[in-house]
Homo-oligomer: A and B are copies of this chain.
C-alpha cells in the first residue's frame, strides 16, 4: 500500500497531523454510495478490482457500482450473476460493457490484455456449462489463457482419457461436475497439477442441490485438490488465475 506508507511518512515528517492522516486514510480507498462502499484499494491489495455479485442487488445498484469501478480504469471489471436488465442500464454509461449470457456475467475491459500460462476448465455434462463458463470467463478476464473441455463425465471414461495430453498441459485444472462429482477424483488422480473442484447443483433427489458432489469432492481419496462452493464458477476461476499467476515465474508479492 504505497499511499498508506506515504501518509505515514508525512506524519513522521510533521507534514500531517495524526487526525488529518486518519481522515485521509479513510477517504483514500473507499467510495461510499450509501448502500455500498466500493473498495477501490482492492486492486492494489489483492491484484484485481472488487468483483460485483449482482444477485440480491437492484439493477440500478449493480450498474452504478460497476460503472464506478470502470471509471478507475485500473483493471478489468467483472459483474457475476448479472441479468440483462443490469446490462442494459450499464450500457448507457459504459457503452463498451459486454454481456456473456451463458455465464450470466458482465465484463468491462480496462486492464492489460495479457493471457498468461493456462487454466483448463473441464465440465462433466452439458448441464454444467453455466458454471463452467462463469469459471472460464473469470479466469480469462483476470488475465489467464483458458482452455475448455466439456461433457467428459465418468460415464464414458474414454471421452476423458483421450484428452489426457491437453489436461496434463494445463497449469491448473478446474473440474465442474454435478451429479455425484466423481470426475474431480478421477482427474486429480491422473495429473500432478492443482485441481479445483466446483460442485454444481445439477441433479435431483439425493443430489441435494449440489451438497452431494460438494461433500464427495471434499472427501476425495485423491490429494492435490480443493473445493469451492456449489455453482461457484467465479470463485474457481479467480483462484485458478491466482495459482496460474504464481506459475508465471518472476512473480513477487504485490507492492508495499
Contact = CB atoms under 8 A, between A and B. Distances in A.
Interface of A: 8-9, 11-12, 14, 17-18, 25-26, 29-30, 34-37, 39, 41-42, 45-47, 50-51, 53, 55-57, 61, 124-127, 129, 150-159, 162, 168-172, 179-182, 185-186, 188-194, 196, 199, 201-232, 234-236, 238-239, 242-243, 246-247, 249-251, 253-254
B17 A154 contact: no
B186 A182 contact: yes
A14 B11 contact: no
The dominant DSSP class at the A interface is mixed
Contact of A219 (B219, B229, B236): B229
Number of copies of this kind of chain in the complex: 8
Contact of A186 (B50, B157, B246): B157
A26 B9 CA distance: 19
Contacts of A162: 25-26, 30
Given A14-B14, A242-B194, A37 B185 contact: no
Given A206-B218, A219-B180, A228 B226 contact: yes
